[in-house]
A and B are shown apart, each in its own frame.
Chain A
Amino acid sequence: MAGGLQGCKTFFINGGYGIKPMNDDVFTYLIGGKAGQGTKKAGIVAANFFSALKRNVFQMNDYPSLIRGGHNFSLVSTATRKIYSQYMKADLAVLLDQRSYTIHRDHLTENGVLVYDSTAVKQGQGIGLPIASLAKNYADPDLIVGVTGIAVLAAVVGADRAKLDTLIQKEYRRSAEDNLKFAHEIYDEAEKKITQRFELREGKETHPILAGAETIGLGASAAGLDLYFAYPMTPSTPILHFLAAQAKQLGVVTVQPENEIAVANMAIGAAFTGARSMVGTSGGGFCLMQEAFSLAGMVEALVVFFLGQRPGPSTGVPTYSEQGELLFSLYPGQGEFPRIVASPGSIEEAFYVAAELLDLAWRFQTPAILLSEKHLTESSMNVDLDIEKIRAAAPDMHTSGIYQRYRQTETGVSPLLFPPSDAMIKWNSYEHDEQGYTSEEADVIARMHVKRRTKQESLIRYLREKVQTVNEYGTGDPCVFTFGSTTMSVREAVLHAGLSCTVVQPIYLQPFPSWNLMKYVGRKAVVVEQNCTGQLEQLLREKTGITPISSIRQFNGRPFNPVDLAEQLRKVIG
């Protein structure tokens, strides 16, 4: 074994695929149970535990759209290197009910350990612990089982009881005493029965574990967000909840109006006062915002729209992930006006992209869309955020002379003024003259069209010169094109299997950064995306002529498993 991994378990989930094991130390923890049994919390606690060992983590929560019952599970993969995805096969699986057991009993790595509740599961294979019957002696038996996950994990990785106690006191503050007592019972049982132990090597440095919803909220507030408007809709809701919880600390006000139409129109009204505003929604809500989106284009309002994708069409599958709204996001709203769309390729990048979009919306006075997916907003990983890179969203302000809201300028961007002001500031949804008065004059209509088109040209120039619009990782052929959260899956697959290829991720999708992509024309290309019809592929072909030799698509609501994805990529790479 190379690289000083002695004493640490090295294992390879993909044994069956015949991929040569790499120098890697990924460990995956899975906890499954009914909604209400605290599996997500148990995942978070495990992630924190790994992070305290200075290891990196990636956590994904899988849950159906219901509040109690059903089947929830949380997957936490950890490594000493940076890790960009959960793995679907676990080294340790803790399964709290029959359904979880049935679903996940085979989702184990070669040496994986399975612990299940022997009260709930009859004749299980693995290590049965009488979890539910032990829990009966406690005030809230349903709730207390959540702590099982961490007690078993502690036993399996050889953490002593003192360490377990500290962890529980920190993480399970509510009825800590009961939790401690119950955890000890489980820990002792597990100690007795588990023979396989994993030793987790300590990593080098640690960074906070944040979900995409948090990095988006933080990025936007770093760039100057003042007001966030949203009507609850998964997967954008966690941003609302995060900002609402941190409202005081971040100086952001959150507002939940009566529907998405009110959301978007209120945000435009707030922008009129100079308050930096953002809205959050998912596909259905964004449909309701179309008219206001177009209004923002016409009045030249500066609002960022967060669009979180889940499987569609229509109500679709609320709590799962998909990238089916790429093409929808490119031209929302009626009429011709500049639109900006960007989609972050990692939880970390979401921080910078959210900030940058706020800046761009204000710089060019036009609506911008932050396009993402459930997989990004609700998964979490360690992030190293450099706050010094964030620029405050600062508009071009009017300084002297007679004020005209829609003054013609070289860039098409008219300087701003906010009320109260001695000058008259009219924003107008009808076509308007420079002053903001309604107009139906032929020359005014044409002039204003040209103004907006000029603004679009300035925006493109700015993106070309000043903004990183495409990411490239690795070298060699083929070029693997992807976008959004699928970028994380692709990067992890490449790392996992040690593949040689160039991952190309357009961050900006509108205006489409063809200027940065033309250089890939003629190279062997593969497109990986999470939708059924190949929307990125269509866009690439249309804008650059790049035609892939192969496309890899997954559209079952689940993010890619890096092991399967690596295998598919390997077939293409040959």
Chain B
Amino acid sequence: MADELTTPAENTWCPGCGNFGILNAFKKAIPKLEQHGIDRKHLVISAGIGCHGKIFDYVPLSGLYSLHGRSMATVQGIKLGNPDLKVLTFAGDGDAFGEGISHMIFAAKRNADITVIVHNNGTYALTTGQFSPTSGKGFKGPSLPSGNVEEPLNPLSLMLEAGASFVARGYAGRIDHLADLIVEAVLHEGFSYIDVLQPSVVFNNTYKEYNALVEIIEKPAGRLEDAVQLAKRFDRLPIGVLYKVSKPVYHKELYGKWNPAVNRLMHEERKRRIATYLSERLQK
């Protein structure tokens, strides 16, 4: 369905892919964010490399299409450059928890004011379905035809332990719910993480299972331990905000109200300051 948020880029996702749900949820979130005073030009996106990353071309927003596993670092750089911008990135589970896991942990640890949306499909889809950090044991892919021999990571509890101040789970099959999560995550000041259950119809078709198991939770857990408990439930799959807490954010801790791109010192002022510095260094 073409709308004002459609771009000329040809959409190449497989029909029925969970990525469509995420794209549509994001498109719904944009006008809602505008109602909250966040205009489109202040919304800047990034993406990793994988099927998920193609979303970069499918929304007409400014941003930087990054490397595999590095978009979390990219958006932290954008935020540090100009903290007036709201930054969010779309990452794959391989992207975020394989190649780029260090950036995820540190972004959460330092409470960088960014939003990371992981399209968690439990496989390296674009590279044709190998097992990923979140694939279950026994998952069969071309690089291990007899089945994955590793246990999966639990991204939610990992992010909670790393210090994320906002942790949520959404489902690509619940678009409106996901749209609201995205709005809330972007509005949250600090590191916000949304793990999106994303069926890959080709390599890991989980629609049936998710439809049966997801359960909306209305309220975040009050305590971290309870949120971790929620993250570790497998009988039901709770979706919604699992945990949300207010903490000092990284760029403000680092440089207060400064804005490097906006407040940058003018040339004459720089020269004056350097001249002062040099005269102070002179031995008299």
Write out the residue numbers on chain B whose beta carbons fall within 8 Å of the beta carbon of A292.
67, 70
| Residue A421 is within 8 A (CB to CB) of chain B in the complex | yes
Q: CA of A427 to CA of B71 in the docked complex: distance in angstroms? A: 12
Write out the residue numbers on chain A whose beta carbons fall within 8 Å of the beta carbon of B269.
251
With A270-B81, A437-B57 given, is the CB distance from A208 to B278 under 8 Å?
yes
Write out the residue numbers on chain B whose beta carbons fall within 8 Å of the beta carbon of A208.
278, 281-283
Write out the residue numbers on chain B whose beta carbons fall within 8 Å of the beta carbon of A274.
81-82, 261
Write out the residue numbers on chain A whose beta carbons fall within 8 Å of the beta carbon of B42.
419-420
How close is B40's CB to chain A, nearest CB, in angstroms?
A: 9
Pick from B115-123, B182-190, B252-260 the stretch touching chain A: B252-260
Q: CA of A291 to CA of B73 in the docked complex: distance in angstroms? A: 13
Closest to B270 in A: A222
| Residue B271 is within 8 A (CB to CB) of chain A in the complex | yes
| Residue B284 is within 8 A (CB to CB) of chain A in the complex | yes
Pick from B58-66, B149-157, B193-201, B226-234 the stretch touching chain A: B58-66
Picked from B64, B264, B271, the residue with its CB within 8 Å of the CB of A427 is B64
Binary flags per residue of A174-213, CB closer than 8 Å to B gives 1, else 0: 0000000000000000000000000000000011111000
Q: CA of A385 to CA of B76 in the docked complex: distance in angstroms? A: 35
| Residue B241 is within 8 A (CB to CB) of chain A in the complex | no
Write out the residue numbers on chain B whose beta carbons fall within 8 Å of the beta carbon of A427.
63-65
| Residue A321 is within 8 A (CB to CB) of chain B in the complex | no
With A250-B274, A269-B74, A292-B70 given, is the CB distance from A255 to B80 under 8 Å?
yes
Binary flags per residue of A234-251, CB closer than 8 Å to B gives 1, else 0: 000000000000100111
Q: Is the pair B77, A429 in contact by a Cβ cutoff of 8 Å?
A: no
| Residue B102 is within 8 A (CB to CB) of chain A in the complex | yes
| Residue B210 is within 8 A (CB to CB) of chain A in the complex | no
Max chain B Cβ within 10 angstroms of own Cβ: one of A51, A224, A270, A385: A270
| Residue B137 is within 8 A (CB to CB) of chain A in the complex | no
With A218-B274, A250-B273, A419-B82 given, is the CB distance from A392 to B267 under 8 Å?
yes
| Residue A132 is within 8 A (CB to CB) of chain B in the complex | no
Write out the residue numbers on chain A whose beta carbons fall within 8 Å of the beta carbon of B82.
273-275, 418-419
Q: CA of A467 to CA of B75 in the docked complex: distance in angstroms? A: 35
Binary flags per residue of A495-533, CB closer than 8 Å to B gives 1, else 0: 000000000000000000000000000000000000000
Picked from A52, A385, A424, A438, the residue with its CB within 8 Å of the CB of B278 is A385
| Residue B103 is within 8 A (CB to CB) of chain A in the complex | yes
Q: Is the pair A52, B283 in contact by a Cβ cutoff of 8 Å?
A: yes
Q: CA of A254 to CA of B99 in the docked complex: distance in angstroms? A: 25
Q: Is the pair B277, A218 in contact by a Cβ cutoff of 8 Å?
A: yes
Q: CA of A292 to CA of B77 in the docked complex: distance in angstroms? A: 13
Picked from B75, B255, B283, the residue with its CB within 8 Å of the CB of A206 is B283
Q: Is the pair B67, A275 in contact by a Cβ cutoff of 8 Å?
A: no
Write out the residue numbers on chain A whose beta carbons fall within 8 Å of the beta carbon of B245.
none
Total A-B contacts with CB atoms under 8 angstroms apart: 197
Q: Is the pair A226, B274 in contact by a Cβ cutoff of 8 Å?
A: no
Max chain B Cβ within 10 angstroms of own Cβ: one of A227, A291, A421: A227
Binary flags per residue of A260-286, CB closer than 8 Å to B gives 1, else 0: 011001111111111111000000000
Write out the residue numbers on chain B whose beta carbons fall within 8 Å of the beta carbon of A218.
274, 277-278
Picked from B7, B62, B64, the residue with its CB within 8 Å of the CB of A269 is B64
Q: Is the pair B281, A258 in contact by a Cβ cutoff of 8 Å?
A: no
Write out the residue numbers on chain A whose beta carbons fall within 8 Å of the beta carbon of B282.
206-208
Picked from B60, B79, B271, B283, the residue with its CB within 8 Å of the CB of A51 is B283
Q: Is the pair A424, B60 in contact by a Cβ cutoff of 8 Å?
A: yes
Write out the residue numbers on chain B whose beta carbons fall within 8 Å of the beta carbon of A388.
271
Picked from A250, A266, A273, A424, the residue with its CB within 8 Å of the CB of B73 is A266
Binary flags per residue of A28-61, CB closer than 8 Å to B gives 1, else 0: 0000000000000000000010011000000000
How close is B74's CB to chain A, nearest CB, in angstroms?
A: 4
Picked from A209, A246, A426, the residue with its CB within 8 Å of the CB of B277 is A246
Q: Is the pair A226, B57 in contact by a Cβ cutoff of 8 Å?
A: no
Write out the residue numbers on chain B whose beta carbons fall within 8 Å of the beta carbon of A270.
77-78, 80-81, 260-261
Write out the residue numbers on chain A whose beta carbons fall within 8 Å of the beta carbon of B103.
258, 261-262
Write out the residue numbers on chain A whose beta carbons fall within 8 Å of the beta carbon of B208.
none
With A227-B260, A265-B74 given, is the CB distance from A419 to B9 under 8 Å?
no
Write out the residue numbers on chain B whose beta carbons fall within 8 Å of the beta carbon of A430.
65
How close is A386's CB to chain B, nearest CB, in angstroms?
A: 10
| Residue A23 is within 8 A (CB to CB) of chain B in the complex | no
Closest to B86 in A: A420
How close is B5's CB to chain A, nearest CB, in angstroms?
A: 11
| Residue B106 is within 8 A (CB to CB) of chain A in the complex | yes
With A257-B106, A295-B66 given, is the CB distance from A272 to B277 under 8 Å?
no
Binary flags per residue of B72-102, CB closer than 8 Å to A gives 1, else 0: 0111111111101100000000000000001
Q: CA of A266 to CA of B82 in the docked complex: distance in angstroms? A: 12
Q: Is the pair A222, B271 in contact by a Cβ cutoff of 8 Å?
A: yes
Q: Is the pair B267, A418 in contact by a Cβ cutoff of 8 Å?
A: no
| Residue A387 is within 8 A (CB to CB) of chain B in the complex | yes
Q: CA of A270 to CA of B84 in the docked complex: distance in angstroms? A: 13
Write out the residue numbers on chain A whose beta carbons fall within 8 Å of the beta carbon of B65.
299, 426-430, 438
Q: Is the pair A275, B102 in contact by a Cβ cutoff of 8 Å?
A: no
Write out the residue numbers on chain B whose beta carbons fall within 8 Å of the beta carbon of A287.
none
Q: Is the pair A249, B277 in contact by a Cβ cutoff of 8 Å?
A: yes
| Residue B213 is within 8 A (CB to CB) of chain A in the complex | no
With A262-B106, A419-B42, A424-B60 given, is the CB distance from A226 to B78 under 8 Å?
no
Q: List 29 A-B contacts (CB under 8 A).
A: A221-B270, A222-B274, A226-B261, A250-B270, A250-B277, A251-B265, A251-B270, A255-B254, A257-B73, A258-B102, A265-B66, A269-B75, A269-B78, A270-B80, A270-B260, A272-B77, A274-B82, A274-B261, A275-B81, A275-B260, A275-B261, A299-B65, A418-B82, A421-B62, A422-B41, A427-B65, A428-B65, A429-B64, A435-B8
A residues at B contact (CB < 8 Å): 48, 51-52, 206-210, 218, 221-222, 224, 226-227, 229, 246, 249-251, 253, 255, 257-259, 261-262, 265-277, 291-292, 295, 299, 385, 387-388, 390, 392, 418-430, 435, 437-438
**Besides the known contacts A258-B102, A258-B105, A429-B66, 10 further A-B residue pairs in the complex with CB atoms under 8 A apart:** A208-B281, A210-B281, A222-B271, A250-B277, A262-B102, A272-B78, A273-B81, A273-B261, A295-B66, A426-B62
B residues at A contact (CB < 8 Å): 7-9, 39, 41-42, 44, 46, 49, 54, 56-57, 60-67, 70, 73-82, 84-85, 102-103, 105-106, 254-255, 258, 260-261, 263-265, 267, 269-271, 273-278, 281-284
Q: Which 5 A-B pairs have the closest CB atoms?
A: A269-B77, A273-B81, A266-B77, A270-B81, A265-B73
